[in-house]
Structure 1
Amino acid sequence: MSSDRKPLVAAIDFGTTYSGIAFSFKHDYENDPLKVRSNNWTAGFRVLQTLKTPTCILFNKDKEFDSFGYEAEDKYSELAEDEENEELYYFKGFKMSLFNKEEPLSKAVKIKSIDGKEMLALDVFSAAIKFLRGQLRQSLEEEGAGIRETDIGWVLTVPPIWDDTARQFMREAAVRAGISGDKLLIAMEPEAASLYCKHLPIEKLQDEGGVQGFGVFSTESKYIVLDCGGGTVDITVYEVQPDLSLMELYKASGGAWGGTQVDEAYRQMLVKIVGSPTILEFSCSYAADYVDMYREFEIKKRSFKGDTKGKVTIRIPISPVEIFEEDTGQDIKETIENTKYSGKVMWVGDRCRITAEVMKSFFEVAGDQIVDHVRDLLNKPEISGTNNIIMVGGFSESPILQDMIKQSFPNLRVIIPPEPELAVLKGAVMFGHNPVTI
């Protein structure tokens, strides 16, 4: 992006599971860098409102863009129920295909839809970026901002584990989506998150012990950015240099330990009760209900606290119980009594009541893997003296994950900014206004 300051900066955070956009005007940034606006997204007719939308994209049989996010999810699941989805191209969680490719990344690389059909990766990514770019234009038009395309500076975030070819691929996809290359910056996700946290007032960076977090960004301070998303967890370690720039102390690392691991643990419980055939038939014959089930669980997952007592009620469409009882001739209540969930799970109609202990167990696999990896990192000689952890990303909003990190590392300051899901996005907007800050 050229050095002249643009009247407006917009950022796209293209996540493995969720994606979002945010922007701020130059005059707002100069008065208050934290004044960054982001889109809210609504899931179908449900009450679920989120700060990001699922990274799902749907193309028609001619490989032309149809929809993105919740709309794509709803449309595809409804068509799947009517068995009208066979010719469509539906991609979900496709971001990591850029990292996992064994062949060299090029314009010719193809990625697979959820049912194995192939499209050019560049076409899929550029269509997604074009949609998000269009959402920004729509937001600006609705408020009558009078901003022209040439007035906008763009920032695209990428994971630190990506190499130069993957970053260049994203730049190419953005240009193909209509973003001018000289108005585009690429920002590393953990560096953008650091920038956002650095701008927060001291009182908002206090950890639970009341220790001020401002020292995290003082010279020679070392800290871990724990970016816990839906699909992946990226971990980066930095040291603040004398000129307040950041030096990466250890190569970025991580794994597939995000919030979707919690969803999978929940699904495994259902499988253990009604069996794989029932869940498979439910997901195929009642695809829209299946999507709704996970959205309902998402609400519970985000708000569940480790100290919750008693039972948690989760709405589940009645279809899986009906399928199970019809196919097996067994009663769901009696079946549960013969599993390890006897006395811990009550499933009546469209309501499943589970004990807090069972709910807590859903978080164990992901949480334990994150804790183990951070513990291994802290034993590396290169990062000795690191005493701060900054938690960002959507999964970092989970109170139970926050507690697991705090309890596992009592000697470290654990800092969680407000709306950690937007930390990368907001930091990327700030970076666009002042690129020399990273």
Structure 2
Amino acid sequence: MGNKQSKTVSGSPSPNMSTRKTEETKEEPNSENVDTNQESDNSENSLHDESENLVPFDPLKSEDGDRNESSRLIVAAIDFGTHGSGFAFCTRAGYKKDFQKELYSWNTEINNTLKAHTTLLMMPNGKDYKSFGNKAESDYLELTREEQKKHYLFRQFKMMLFNNQNLSETLTLKDITEKELPAVDVFAAAIRYFKESVENKINAGSSKVFNDDDIHWVITVPAIWDLRSKEFMRKAAEKAGLDATTVSLALEPEAASMYCRRVPVTISTRKDGAKQIASLQTGSKYLVVDLGGGTIDVTAHEVLGDGGLKELHQATGGYYGGTCVNDEIMSFFKRLFGAPVLMTLKNEHPGDYLQLMNDIEMKKCTFNCNVHQKTYNLNIPASLMDAYEKYSECPIREDLENTTFAKDVSIISDKMKISKELFETFFQRSLENIVRIIKEILDSAEMSDVNTLLVVGGYAESSLIKDTLTTSFSDKNVVIPTNPSLCVLKGAIIFGFEPKLIDSRVCRYTYGIAKLGIWQKGDPEGKKLPEMTRRGRYWCDGVFDKHIEVGQVVKVGEFQDPKEYFVEKGQEFALLDFYASSEKNPRFVDEPSCTHVGSFVLELSGNESRKNMLVRIGFGGTELEVEALEEDTGRVYKSCCHFLP
């Protein structure tokens, strides 16, 4: 900011939307130039009357009309998954005809899905990608050992963004052999791969050459991601060459819900008693259970009369997706072989380690609890058994007989046979937590009339998932659409053309701004500041000034009521520290439930006449927005949001 004055906004909020000052709540630190007893004669409706050229302080506007399709020529969707990723795109003309028929998607013919492994092979320079997906893995295996040491192979790296309190633009990411690169460069390279693939396919199939401005990009993210993770993904997209104005973030369960709203997913009964496949009808209330490779997202939606969707319960979930099962299998391997042996395999034989990971993934995906199969076989690399024997001076087959796994595990040649009973336990932690989260939501009073579970995501293809949910929720209608792993990707296309289909969301946290307030009886003594108000009361810092409350229904595209803050004379910038809390009414921003999620920087006029500022927060889409109004000039300032340190 150079020599420009930059201060944190302080003060206390007005009790309503007007600028009228109250007694104690409008006191400020000692100032000889301000009469704190002065009443303002400006009313809420007179804020815009000072100039014909002022920007109105109106609800958030968008180029997209309510429920109307966007004028975007092409929408390209990137479903960036933990285990599998894919892309799709659709022209506006094709979307109007039949978005499913006109949908172009990447078919790798792996596990009968249209997704590839989220695996990225980076060149030795650490900036450019060599390949992505299943090809990245095969390319890596074809490299010599010396070449592998120079290249970088990243697998399932999306989970790094989940609930990472240390997330920043400087954070590094470790590849399969523990070599590090800046995480934002890795994500940017992956997005750049999708960008170039989409552009090549679009221009190869059309006589018209499309410009960057013709394509609107939709990147899917879990609903339970925090603001830092969303901003990180935006930073990576910008670094990949995507213009920020052409990028939207779609919440994965919302995208899936949009898709299932359009296609037949339920069984209904006609008047004549015959059964028919139907889409979700107006008034339907249902849980969306998005079971991905890494996280699970659970929320509740209602279908509105105009085709929109209303969120009924804030999204909740955690790291209980498909890769959670992989982690349990790897924990079993560590108990059997030892962590040092597995580290040796990873560092000295990364190709063998990669093939072992892929074999574990394949056996997990094909495990069927309803099939009469006593054992499941895993291919064990000879390098793993050699490393074990070198480390323990005894073959693994002999030591296995003395472990608790002796009855359930045997090794014959290069095959490890695992009993069905033991293999099923690898799913236990994941399944228990999925059932627990769903029950917690269904047990809430507002969910009493929800009778349908709409289950999507790649993990939903597991037979254990279907059996567990139908057994645990026998009184509910469990619906798993065809190809559940593609629901999010196809729904992202709908979101790109019709972003206003989501009518409202339920806030996951209480959001507020740190402010200077009046110390109250019962507050910690250590919160008192030396300065006193003109009425002899103490000031205290770090008061949580609530703007949005957890569980509050927030209309998409609308701002909350503004609150008033002090502005110093000549102040040109204001820094608002932004906090989130799991509690409804936190008192201070340093309470255990509170997290500093970022800051808003507001550029002010620097006017020498000291007036106050109105600040309001809104949900324009899947992210927060902030606006401020200077009372003396009537000017409206949109913020620059910073959630990454």
TM-score (norm 2): 0.59
Greater helix content: 1
Instruction: Evaluate the alpha carbon distance shift between residue 72 and residue 241 of structure 1 in structure 2; reply closer, same or farther with a 3 A threshold.
Output: same
Aligned to 2:467: 403
Q: Distance in 2 between matches of 1:96 and 1:311?
A: 31
Q: Distance in 1 between matches of 2:87 and 2:233?
A: 16
How far is the alpha carbon of 1:99 from its aligned partner?
4.6
Q: Distance in 2 between matches of 1:97 and 1:374?
A: 25
Of residues 342-351 and 386-395 in structure 1, the stretch that sits farther from structure 2 once superposed is 342-351
Provide Cα deviations, 1:72-122, integer angstroms capped at 9, x if missing partner: 45566777954863x7665544434445343686xx55343343745263x
Instruction: Evaluate the alpha carbon distance shift between residue 353 and residue 91 of structure 1 in structure 2; reply closer, same or farther with a 3 A threshold.
Output: closer
Instruction: Evaluate the alpha carbon distance shift between residue 323 and residue 118 of structure 1 in structure 2; reply closer, same or farther with a 3 A threshold.
Output: closer
CA contact (8 A) 1:81 1:284 kept: no
SS state at 1:377 partner: helix
Provide Cα deviations, 1:158-211, integer angstroms capped at 9, x if missing partner: 22223456445434433442334444333221111001111212xx4349xx98
Aligned to 1:140: 202
Q: Distance in 1 between matches of 2:261 and 2:75?
A: 19
1:254-293 equivalences under 5 Å are: 254-293=317-356
CA contact (8 A) 2:127 2:189 kept: no
| Counterpart pick for 1:19 among 66, 85, 88 | 85
Instruction: Evaluate the alpha carbon distance shift between residue 168 and residue 331 of structure 1 in structure 2; reply closer, same or farther with a 3 A threshold.
Output: closer
1:214-363 equivalences under 5 Å are: 214=278, 216-219=280-283, 221-309=284-372, 310-363=374-427
Instruction: Evaluate the alpha carbon distance shift between residue 61 and residue 271 of structure 1 in structure 2; reply closer, same or farther with a 3 A threshold.
Output: same
Instruction: Evaluate the alpha carbon distance shift between residue 276 and residue 168 of structure 1 in structure 2; reply closer, same or farther with a 3 A threshold.
Output: closer
1:68-147 equivalences under 5 Å are: 68-73=132-137, 81-82=145-146, 85=149, 91-102=154-165, 108-114=169-175, 115=178, 117=180, 119=182, 121=184, 123-141=185-203, 143=205, 146-147=208-209
| Counterpart pick for 2:108 among 23, 38, 41 | 41
| Counterpart pick for 1:416 among 476, 480, 485 | 480
Q: Distance in 1 between matches of 2:402 and 2:154?
A: 39
Instruction: Evaluate the alpha carbon distance shift between residue 9 and residue 377 of structure 1 in structure 2; reply closer, same or farther with a 3 A threshold.
Output: same
How far is the alpha carbon of 1:362 from its aligned partner?
1.5
Q: Distance in 2 between matches of 1:323 and 1:89?
A: 24
Aligned to 2:258: 195
Greater strand content: 2
How far is the alpha carbon of 1:348 from its aligned partner?
1.4
After superposition, the CA RMSD in angstroms is 3.2
Q: Distance in 1 between matches of 2:146 and 2:439?
A: 49
Identity %: 35
SS state at 2:158 partner: coil
SS state at 1:367 partner: helix
In structure 2, give the amino acid aligned to 1:205. T
How far is the alpha carbon of 1:71 from its aligned partner?
4.5
Aligned to 1:51: 114
Instruction: Evaluate the alpha carbon distance shift between residue 165 and residue 317 of structure 1 in structure 2; reply closer, same or farther with a 3 A threshold.
Output: closer
Q: Distance in 2 between matches of 1:263 and 1:231?
A: 10
CA contact (8 A) 1:78 1:287 kept: no
In structure 2, give the amino acid aligned to 1:218. T
SS state at 2:370 partner: coil
Q: Distance in 2 between matches of 1:211 and 1:342?
A: 51
Aligned to 2:56: none
CA contact (8 A) 1:238 1:247 kept: yes
Instruction: Evaluate the alpha carbon distance shift between residue 186 and residue 217 of structure 1 in structure 2; reply closer, same or farther with a 3 A threshold.
Output: farther
Provide Cα deviations, 1:250-277, integer angstroms capped at 9, x if missing partner: 2211111111121122223333333333
Provide Cα deviations, 1:328-367, integer angstroms capped at 9, x if missing partner: 3434433333333334323212222222222212211111
| Counterpart pick for 1:161 among 214, 224, 227 | 224
Q: Distance in 2 between matches of 1:48 and 1:323?
A: 32
How far is the alpha carbon of 1:291 from its aligned partner?
0.9
Structure 2 regions of 5+ residues with no counterpart?
Answer: 1-61, 65-69, 269-273, 503-645
Q: Distance in 2 between matches of 1:365 and 1:58?
A: 32
CA contact (8 A) 2:291 2:456 kept: yes
SS state at 1:41 partner: coil
Instruction: Evaluate the alpha carbon distance shift between residue 186 and residue 103 of structure 1 in structure 2; reply closer, same or farther with a 3 A threshold.
Output: same
Structure 1 regions of 5+ residues with no counterpart?
Answer: none
Of residues 189-198 and 260-269 in structure 1, the stretch that sits farther from structure 2 once superposed is 260-269
| Counterpart pick for 2:494 among 416, 430, 434 | 430
Aligned to 2:240: 177
SS state at 1:223 partner: strand
TM-score (norm 1): 0.85
* Count of residues in correspondence between the two structures: 425
Provide Cα deviations, 1:39-86, integer angstroms capped at 9, x if missing partner: 1237xxxx777532333445455431233434545566777954863x
CA contact (8 A) 1:34 1:199 kept: no
Provide Cα deviations, 1:255-312, integer angstroms capped at 9, x if missing partner: 1111112112222333333333332222222211111112122222222211122222
Q: Distance in 1 between matches of 2:465 and 2:275?
A: 20
Q: Distance in 1 between matches of 2:173 and 2:350?
A: 20
Of residues 309-318 and 285-294 in structure 1, the stretch that sits farther from structure 2 once superposed is 309-318
In structure 1, give the amino acid aligned to 2:219. L
Q: Distance in 1 between matches of 2:157 and 2:389?
A: 36
Instruction: Evaluate the alpha carbon distance shift between residue 138 and residue 295 of structure 1 in structure 2; reply closer, same or farther with a 3 A threshold.
Output: farther
Instruction: Evaluate the alpha carbon distance shift between residue 372 and residue 2 of structure 1 in structure 2; reply closer, same or farther with a 3 A threshold.
Output: same
Structure whose alpha-carbon radius of gyration is higher: 2
Of residues 55-64 and 274-283 in structure 1, the stretch that sits farther from structure 2 once superposed is 55-64
Q: Distance in 2 between matches of 1:419 and 1:147?
A: 33
